[in-house]
Structure 1
Amino acid sequence: MRSIVKLAAPAAAAALLLAACGTTGGDETTAAEGSSSGSSSCPADVSIGFFGALTGPNANLGVNEQNGVKLAVDQHNAESGACQVTVTPYDSQGDQNQAQGLAQQVVGDENVLGIVGPAFSGESKVADPIFDEAGIVGISPSATNPALAENGWKTFFRVLGNDASQGPAAATYISDTLGKQKVYVIDDATEYGKGLADIVRESLGAKAVKNNTIQTGQTDFSAVVADVQASGADAVFFGGYYPEGGLLLKQLRESGLSADKLAFITDDGAKDEGLITAAGAAAAEGALMTCPCLPPDKAGGTFVADYTEAYGTAPATYSAEAFDAANILLDGIAEGNVTREDLLAYVKSYDKPGVTKQLKFDEKGEPSEVSVWAYKVEGGEIVADQEINAS
């Protein structure tokens, strides 16, 4: 049995699975040992892809997710009689300019039945229309731009709430919980960072006293820091990723804007130890972030223990969401949906508990359950603060 929160399959379904699925060989990424020859209902070389940053400045987030996918596949493959599945990685480096070529690689590999990802909103905007045209289902554990669900794509799904929930929740947390009245909002000009920051700006209304934009890869924020000082802001919200967020935070603190003078709030793209590394432990202490993700230690079943045993470290941002996304695809394969068309149809009607939530999608591919949490850096670690009303 997989160590996730799921209803037990009826005996008849289990017998059918054993009869229908043999096992196949694996690849260098994930493969079970002791495989036997497959059957017509369990083709050789069945694979699911992972599409996200595995190298580059934002790789921490992608590695967290791929680890969740690999854990799900390893557990699936270890089940008696399971159709053996491999993981095919597509390393986007978080760069949407690479997304088109990678998506075309996915389309061209007939063994890949579905994708966990794309991980980031920018690469999703490029890759998802290609997947839609080819009929390849993609389930993102982390792409949160609301517009992704508004394109009419039949193959798009995500297992977390979008920024139309995170943005207002962040604004509520800043104004009501933190009591901040003058918020300086900064974005990184990306599909994700600007999209979320714009929603926060709108939700804050008059409390958003100043706006600014930086660029990915930027390292000198002296002009922005000086403008924050001149604005008299009591809080900064940054929409973007941890490399720039950490350096921005460091330079704000070095300017004399301590945590008691200026709260620093950011988002799920910066909810990573890389923020602490870039800022330095002292500067990062007290930093806050929001995320439409469950605190990893609250994931159900034995996920936390299994992940920790497999990787020697606790699960991090989006590990559990990626585990859930992978298990949706694996459940479909286990039930004999071994064509792209059949697996897509299976995902559309999916309704089972995962380790993060009940996993069910509406007609746009959005999850039926949404939660937004606030996190904080405390003692050099990112810990859960509280769940925020996501309405």
Structure 2
Amino acid sequence: MRATGAVALSAVLAVSASACGGDSGGSGDGDSVTIGFMGDLTGESAGIVIPPKQGALLAIEEYNATNPKVKIKFKTYDSQGKGEQAVPLAKSAITKDKIVGLIGPAFSGESQQVDPVLEEGKIPSISASATNAALSKNGWKFFHRIVGNDDVQGTGVGTFITSGLGAKKVFVVHDNSEYGKPLGTTVERTVKAAGATTQVGVIDPNASDYSATVNQVKAFAPDAVFFGGYYAQAGKLVKQLRQAGVKARFLSGDGSLDPGLAKGAGGTVADGSVIGCPCLIDPTGKASPASKKFSEAYKAKYKTETAIYSAEGYDAATAFIAAIKAGNTKAEDINKFLSTVDVPGVSKQIKFTPQGDPASSAIYVYQIKGATLPLIGDAKTSKLN
């Protein structure tokens, strides 16, 4: 499920949307209901979307194996993280596939465009990875997410930078996206409030040469560099920073929690970099016994370790499963159930605020070591020399 292998596996597991007629507000046929999953399954950021898809599929297969009265069909929609592709896919999922719920969209940008479509169709969604804080401020009634938003994530990572690392000078770089910019802004605000000196730079995610920003970083001579963006760009940024002689600790957020960062940086260049995430990757059970059990089942099925948002994808599916177990097979009834759901999950207790955010969410930090990303611990309490 690591970047390259995960993309190949997605080609086998992915299910394309099929036409079967219907209208807004999905419902089951009596014996089954359809839950969709939407996100980038074949694009450059597929490495952080396939894991939650596989986690969701595992939960649904485990449920169906109990031979329930109402089984769940699982359909995937490959948006490649692009809103212009995601919107028509969402419309097709509602009108043709008659989905009763959607896990996703995976990214914040596509969520901003797709969720109004879901609202109109009265289809509940639970994203396992869209973290833009503004998403839960739109007044949407059918929107939910398992992960903490970027305000929570940025504050957690910023706290770790100043308390866990003791950094006094922090350079924040972002990619100017709906994900990266707000995350970077929150990190900068947090470290500045803690007394650190800061400077901000921006890169073009479509460019290959970041020398202008790299030179700014070098001139500032920071203790730490934080990047708000995705792993494909993060890897290139780390490589160019090190080539320029910048030795400051490199950090990033959940969009970079993938071995693709180290691969893009080349060899062990990215070793020591720290990645924050409102997600729990805990195969040893260090933070949660439930995550160890889940990790073992996941590895048995996919022949690979859990990765970013694997557990959150499982938990998103678990929320829908709880609704269906309670006898809800129509989309609006499922959405009503989600407003009161309160069941144990792998990553956290599954419970939502009235705005659709998780009722609680810890931020965890991971450190790159070769091709691995071992857990350091909770961002609030962890220390790193």
Q: What is the CA–CA distance in structure 1 between the aligned matches of 2:327 and 2:204, rounded to whole Å?
A: 46
Q: What is the CA–CA distance in structure 1 between the aligned matches of 2:29 and 2:318, rounded to whole Å?
A: 17
Q: 1:28–1:387: structure 2 CA closer, same or farther, 3 Å change rule?
A: closer
Which 5+ residue runs of structure 1 have no aligned equivalent? Answer: 1-26, 31-39
Q: What is the CA–CA distance in structure 2 between the aligned matches of 1:103 and 1:191, rounded to whole Å?
A: 20
**Given the alignment of the two structures, is residue 243 of structure 1 paired with residue 232 of structure 2, yes or no?**
yes
**Given the alignment of the two structures, is residue 255 of structure 1 paired with residue 244 of structure 2, yes or no?**
yes
SS in 2 for 1:381: coil
Question: Which residue in 1 is equivalent to 2:351?
Answer: 360
Question: Which residue in 2 is equivalent to 1:193?
Answer: 180
CA shift for structure 1 position 98? 2.2
Question: Which residue in 1 is equivalent to 2:376?
Answer: 385
Alignment of 1:276-315 (within 5 A): 276-297=262-283, 298=285, 300=290, 302-315=293-306
Alignment of 1:166-245 (within 5 A): 166-205=153-192, 207-245=196-234
Answer yes or no: is the 8 Å Cα contact 1:50–1:117 preserved in 2: yes
Same amino acid, percent of matched pairs: 39
Q: Deviations over 1:122-141 (max 9, x none)?
A: 11111111111211000011
CA shift for structure 1 position 279? 0.9
Question: Which residue in 2 is equivalent to 1:3?
Answer: none
Larger radius of gyration between Structure 1 and Structure 2: 1
Q: What is the CA–CA distance in structure 2 between the aligned matches of 1:65 and 1:143, rounded to whole Å?
A: 12
**Given the alignment of the two structures, is residue 371 of structure 1 paired with residue 362 of structure 2, yes or no?**
yes
Which 5+ residue runs of structure 2 have no aligned equivalent? Answer: 1-12, 17-26
Q: What is the CA–CA distance in structure 2 between the aligned matches of 1:130 and 1:292, rounded to whole Å?
A: 26
CA shift for structure 1 position 182? 1.1
Q: Which deviates the most, 377-386 or 241-250?
A: 377-386
Answer yes or no: is the 8 Å Cα contact 1:296–1:316 preserved in 2: no
Question: Which residue in 1 is equivalent to 2:19?
Answer: none
Q: What is the CA–CA distance in structure 2 between the aligned matches of 1:122 and 1:329, rounded to whole Å?
A: 24
Q: So what's the TM-score if we normalise by structure 1?
A: 0.86
Amino acid at match of 1:332: A
Runs of 4 or more above 3 Å deviation:
27-30
Alignment of 1:55-70 (within 5 A): 55-70=42-57
Q: Deviations over 1:40-98 (max 9, x none)?
A: 98525521000111011100111111101111111111113342222111111112332
Q: Which deviates the most, 331-340 or 190-199?
A: 331-340
Q: Deviations over 1:280-310 (max 9, x none)?
A: 2311110111111112324516211110011
Amino acid at match of 2:367: K
Alignment of 1:1-391 (within 5 A): 29=15, 43-44=30-31, 46-205=33-192, 207-257=196-246, 261-297=247-283, 298=285, 300=290, 302-389=293-380
Amino acid at match of 1:207: A
Q: What is the CA–CA distance in structure 2 between the aligned matches of 1:318 and 1:156, rounded to whole Å?
A: 18
Amino acid at match of 2:47: N
Q: What is the CA–CA distance in structure 2 between the aligned matches of 1:241 and 1:306, rounded to whole Å?
A: 28
SS in 2 for 1:68: helix
SS in 2 for 1:296: coil
Equivalent pairs, count: 352
